[in-house]
Structure 1
Amino acid sequence: MPEADLLGLGAAVLIAGLLARLARRYGLPSVPCYMLVGIALGPGTPGPVLIGHPAELAVIAALGLVLLLFHLGVEFPVDEVLGGGRRLVVAASCYIGLNMTAGLLFGFALGWGASSALVVAGALGISSSAIVTKLLIELHRLTNAETPVILGIIVLEDLFLAFYLALLSPVLSAGDTTGEIVRDITLSFGMLAALLLVARFGARAVGRLLDTREDEVLAVVTIGLVVLVAGTAQEAGVSDAIGALLTGLVVARTRLRERVERLVTPLRDVFAAVFFVAFGLSIDTGHLGAVVVPVALAVAVTVVANLSAGIITARLFGFNQRGAANIGLTVLGRGEFSLILATLALSAGLDVRIGPFVALYVLVLAVLSPLLAAHSRHLARVMPDWLLRRDWTYVREETISTSCTHLDQVRVTETDAEECPECVASGSDWVALRLCTSCGFVGCCDDSPHRHASEHAARTRHPIIQSAQPGEDWKWCFVDETLVRAPLGTKR
């Protein structure tokens, strides 16, 4: 690499890091910041150029991609997926199916070719695990009832990623005939199956190969193994990303998992930043104008598909309108996988508009996703009752939580009362009835003139009420000011 480009790379990475630090203060993800620096300071944009020959960063950028996918494999929570049950699999399948189908149809509508349509489908169909996880943390929703479902969906998306890459890589290869494409797909899935078998039965051998007390040696040997497998997969006509992902799954089954994750994470972050900067460097801003309208339409398609999947998931798990809105808007962000697909497409010589299209699409959603997710209450207000369970009508805008610490005070959950005694005594009307789960007191709701249920809770300090309306079983904690739900998987 020329000295000038080395100097430019250092300056670009430093600027990207400082911009990402600024973005974090405002709740925005770092990936778009890295891309913006690459776009702004690359040869495709008028003005200062820090790196005049982006192609010379190819090896470093490839290492960033490999470490991203390897770390994803190491973190893959197999036990959570297996314990999520049939409903989680159905919810994730609906989410992936709706978004991928919408993306594929949109890709064909663009008219950029069948291979480009497959890339667009993946770019629009798979959300960013990093952005979703970051949103859940920053919005303080880790204890929400819908959060385990959201995490389950993105985990199954990551699993789907491996199979999609195995299918897409031969399609993007140089195979000209149907027979060659079929051969390449067979080889790709054969490689995938072989690595899965190693992950299932060869983890002990891999653990012995990597095992050492020295962190330095462990890091070097692990990175060497990952790059070797990724390179072997690439030479076999399979994506290097698949090799890296499956190597991560193998290492995750060894006793070295936590050490490897700790050692690789800083390397992943640095080289991944270079990967995203390099992607930005490849974007010619002269092509952005041609993709503004397609990007706007793609964002609209993604929002509709996500909200539809959120409603379906909420119906499966019995969440209210707020839960449906949280699911649909939290998993809206797109990031690393979309950019990986765009990189593969550009390397395969597909339509040059794919790069600017995906870059602008990711940037727009990276800004919209945190804003929409943070204001999901407003969407819940206008979401019709018939879309979800009727018993959530009264509390559609409230978040359901599994973090209430007062469940041990629940002693009464049933009542035969059909009227508010205090309203009857005073000759007043009431709207709906609430049951105190600590003592069994029945009072009217806050939409009633005298709000006897809330008055009783304030007087006695009994924390939880339950709806006493027929067919409703939700609970509200006055102390935590949240709907109360047992954790996912427990019997209600």
Structure 2
Amino acid sequence: MTHLPHLVMDLGLILGAAGITTLIFKKLKQPLVLGYIIAGLLVGPHFNLFPTIIEIENINVWAEIGVIFLLFSLGLEFSFKKLVKVGGASSIMAGVEVIVMLLLGYLTGKMLGWSTMDSVFLGGILSISSTTIIIRAFDELGVKSQRFAGLVFGVLIVEDLVAILLLVLLSTLAVSQQFAGTEMLQAVLKLAFFLVVWFLAGIFLIPTFLRKASKLMNDETLLIVSIALCFIMVILAAQVGFSPALGAFIMGSILAETTKAEKIEHLVTSVKDLFGAIFFVSVGILINPAMIVEYAGPIALITVVTIVGKMVSITGGGLMAGQGLRTSIQSGMSVSQIGEFSFIIATLGLTLNVTSDFLYPVAVAVSAITTFTTPYMIKLADPLHRSVEGMLPERWKTSLNEYSSGAETISTVSDWKIVLRSYVINLVVYSVILIAIVLASGNFLYPFITENFINGVWGGVATVAIALVFMAPFLWAMAVYHPQKEAQGRIWANRNYRSLIIVLEFTRVGIAILFIGFLLNQVLSVQVAIVSSLFIIGLLVVFSRRIQNFYTRIEDRFMSNLNAREIEAASKMTHTLVPWDAHLTSFEVSPNAVVVGKSMIELQIREKYGVNVAVIEREGRNIMAPTRNERIFPGDKIYVFGTDEQIEAFSEFVNEEFIPSSNGETTREEISLQKLVVSPASRLLGKTVRESGVREKTKGLIVGIEKNGERMLNPDSELVIGEGDILWIVGSPWRIKQLEAARQEA
């Protein structure tokens, strides 16, 4: 009889059990993750009715590979651009929830008499919600298009990044065994440093590589290359002291910015499902049913803390962000569970031998219970909202509505904010790049040159020369480059601010010189470093033009790779219609465009320019065939259909911005949402919205009217304004106050 390795037998047993349970759970319309966990419980060492796994250690290796693929797939769906686009409301809600649940988890563990490390890890386990379970529940209930669902997706994106940060911080805490603020800060800074380095290098190199090799790649080779890149980053992350899962997540997020992202995600799905199933089955294998029975009380308590804590924290965060009572409650009721990342955090505690054996099965039991309750919690959101609204005093509801309306303020960005933000971003990005080059030169390049080619001082000189070739474009960008020339020019036109601009310029140059000294100090003596630094600065000045051209090519390559998906999507939207020579193209609306805040009927785009607005893309959703009352907002992408001549004329209009006045000051004004109550003496009384002259007098728009307790959004232009009506006007506050003053004088 042929000998069959235990690993093959165990793998067959795992997949067989997983296959049967998933079919059953699919029939019952329950989450497959729970089926995998139960399959692991059945073939684990604590259940003797079925064949049992022989070598659990080997299965743990497969499970770790499963975690890598889970995080890789999560990174493919994550994308750092999505994080940047996440609104302030979702960020506030996620921040409040994570802080509250970390604290509640820690206090609950201490109340149960658990150790400090068990309590800390419990807080981490409870702070992250399950993306998979929430998306599945939204699909089944058909609520993905509702407003609160968009907020929840934003919360999940922020939580993904927080979970990565927690993995690093908990690993650091587990190693140090103490809450050392310095070590925690170092861990965070180290994580931020490597995130920036990996992201910048990855975006610069990987999309270019995939594009040049695209002719050689079919589905098979693309899958192999993608998995190879994933494991290369896994190795790099492990080499610098991070978890392998972090490396997989980072590579996934880098590939998410490429034009091959959807294809890679499709190809990796089957591999991820296979190893993910092994991971979740291994979760079940480690569960001891007797321990769950023994800790039934703590499980029940932690389940209640999870459901109530997440519901209250997210709802509170939503109210703080001005999202209104109904939307906040719906969001809070949607995220009251724990899932994949919670298992990974619990596994981390076991792997590092810093948590007790009972914490893992407790976390799994809580996850199973909260998974079952999630759909019912979402369904109960509306009844709960009605009950809460019925119990609230009228003045509380009025205050909430006013706060929610006041939070929806549109404001323009001043030139100083634009310039300072660009200075800070440039300083951080280029500092990280320069530090990475200097450290790589001192730790790797210098030993390699001195050991294999040139010894002594000349080895250091050669190292400096090579490093400077790579550093030169970034030194030039840090010291000379002006990414916001127009905004800085408008500030310079005001003589009062010129001294501040000069100080900023000298600061940039000084920091660049410090980096040169930092490099020289790594491989040369102090005396040689001082003399060499002056010589190097001279060379940089002499070759400034060539360095500038070199940097421009680097920046163009990076931005092209970063925006490759958007460029490809736009090209797919551009089609020519023969024989009229008309085509579809897109325009992105800047915050300062004159079209911002105006409706289709006010702009009269088709009448004036002959083009049709086919689609408005706004925050990940498409408004197809927008109506006459649809308004344009900052950041919208407008897809228009017309001939070359029509589109060219429309392009000049849509790109038109506010023009600075002759004295150097801009004509930009603060824009906000203001409330105006129509009094018996008001000039607006009895007039229609069109006749009121609000747009002409305030440079604003009536976006809402409250009439006899009824709210009307974007009211019809023929609606008559009556006494006691509350007008909501988007416009310049001082102009609206002038309108009120004119009304009172009359």
Contact kept in structure 1, 2:125 and 2:343, CA below 8 Å:
yes
Contact kept in structure 1, 2:80 and 2:253, CA below 8 Å:
no
Cα-to-partner distance string for 1:34-89 (whole Å, 9 max, x where unaligned): 11110122002342233132211122111110011111112114334323332332
- For residues 624 and 222 of structure 2, what CA distance do their matches in structure 1 show? 43
Contact kept in structure 1, 2:173 and 2:179, CA below 8 Å:
no
- Could you tell me the percent identity over the aligned residues? 24
Gapped runs of 5+ residues in structure 1? 394-401, 417-436, 438-465, 476-490
Residue 249 in structure 1 maps to residue 253 in structure 2? yes
- For residues 191 and 155 of structure 2, what CA distance do their matches in structure 1 show? 25
- For residues 310 and 32 of structure 1, what CA distance do their matches in structure 2 show? 25
Which amino acid letter does the alignment assign opposite residue 169 of structure 1? S
Matches of residues 128-277 of structure 1 in structure 2 within 5 Å? Answer: 128-173=130-175, 175=176, 186=186, 189-190=189-190, 193-209=193-209, 211-212=213-214, 213-277=217-281
Which residue among 11, 14, 22 is the counterpart of 1:12?
14
Residue 114 in structure 1 maps to residue 116 in structure 2? yes
Residue 304 of structure 1: aligned partner: 308
Structure number, greater radius of gyration? 2
Q: TM-score, normalised by structure 1?
A: 0.75
Residue 382 of structure 2: aligned partner: 377
Residue 125 of structure 2: aligned partner: 123
User: Which one is further off, 241-250 or 354-363?
Assistant: 241-250
The structural deviation recorded for 1:97 is 1.9
The structural deviation recorded for 1:207 is 3.0
Residue 327 of structure 1: aligned partner: 331
**Aligned CA distance change for structure 1 residues 366 and 2 (closer, same or farther; 3 Å):** farther
The structural deviation recorded for 1:302 is 1.3
Q: Secondary structure at the match of 1:332?
A: coil
Contact kept in structure 2, 1:64 and 1:268, CA below 8 Å:
yes
Q: What RMSD, in angstroms, separates the aligned Cα atoms of the two structures? A: 3.6
The structural deviation recorded for 1:468 is 3.6
**Aligned CA distance change for structure 1 residues 302 and 471 (closer, same or farther; 3 Å):** farther
Gapped runs of 5+ residues in structure 2? 402-620, 631-675, 679-688, 690-704, 715-729, 732-746
The structural deviation recorded for 1:334 is 1.4
Q: Secondary structure at the match of 1:48?
A: coil
Cα-to-partner distance string for 1:109-165 (whole Å, 9 max, x where unaligned): 333322222211111110011111111111100111111101100111011112111
Contact kept in structure 2, 1:170 and 1:238, CA below 8 Å:
no
Residue 368 of structure 2: aligned partner: 363
- For residues 85 and 176 of structure 1, what CA distance do their matches in structure 2 show? 36
Contact kept in structure 2, 1:192 and 1:242, CA below 8 Å:
no
- For residues 352 and 71 of structure 2, what CA distance do their matches in structure 1 show? 20
Which residue among 288, 292, 301 is the counterpart of 2:296?
292
- For residues 47 and 255 of structure 1, what CA distance do their matches in structure 2 show? 50
Residue 613 of structure 2: aligned partner: none
Contact kept in structure 2, 1:31 and 1:336, CA below 8 Å:
no
Cα-to-partner distance string for 1:282-311 (whole Å, 9 max, x where unaligned): 122221122211111111111221221242
Contact kept in structure 1, 2:71 and 2:248, CA below 8 Å:
yes
- For residues 179 and 313 of structure 2, what CA distance do their matches in structure 1 show? 35
The structural deviation recorded for 1:172 is 2.6
- For residues 2 and 184 of structure 1, what CA distance do their matches in structure 2 show? 48
User: Which one is further off, 62-71 or 18-27?
Assistant: 18-27
Contact kept in structure 2, 1:123 and 1:358, CA below 8 Å:
yes
Q: Secondary structure at the match of 1:202?
A: helix
Cα-to-partner distance string for 1:327-382 (whole Å, 9 max, x where unaligned): 11211121111111111111122210111111111111111112222333332332
Contact kept in structure 1, 2:79 and 2:257, CA below 8 Å:
no
Does 1 or 2 have the higher relative contact order (CA < 8 Å, sep 6+)? 1
Residue 347 of structure 2: aligned partner: 343
**Aligned CA distance change for structure 1 residues 178 and 316 (closer, same or farther; 3 Å):** closer
Which amino acid letter does the alignment assign opposite residue 43 of structure 2? L
Contact kept in structure 2, 1:28 and 1:370, CA below 8 Å:
no
Contact kept in structure 2, 1:61 and 1:274, CA below 8 Å:
yes
- For residues 280 and 179 of structure 2, what CA distance do their matches in structure 1 show? 34
Residue 487 of structure 1: aligned partner: none
Q: TM-score, normalised by structure 2?
A: 0.51
**Aligned CA distance change for structure 1 residues 332 and 183 (closer, same or farther; 3 Å):** closer
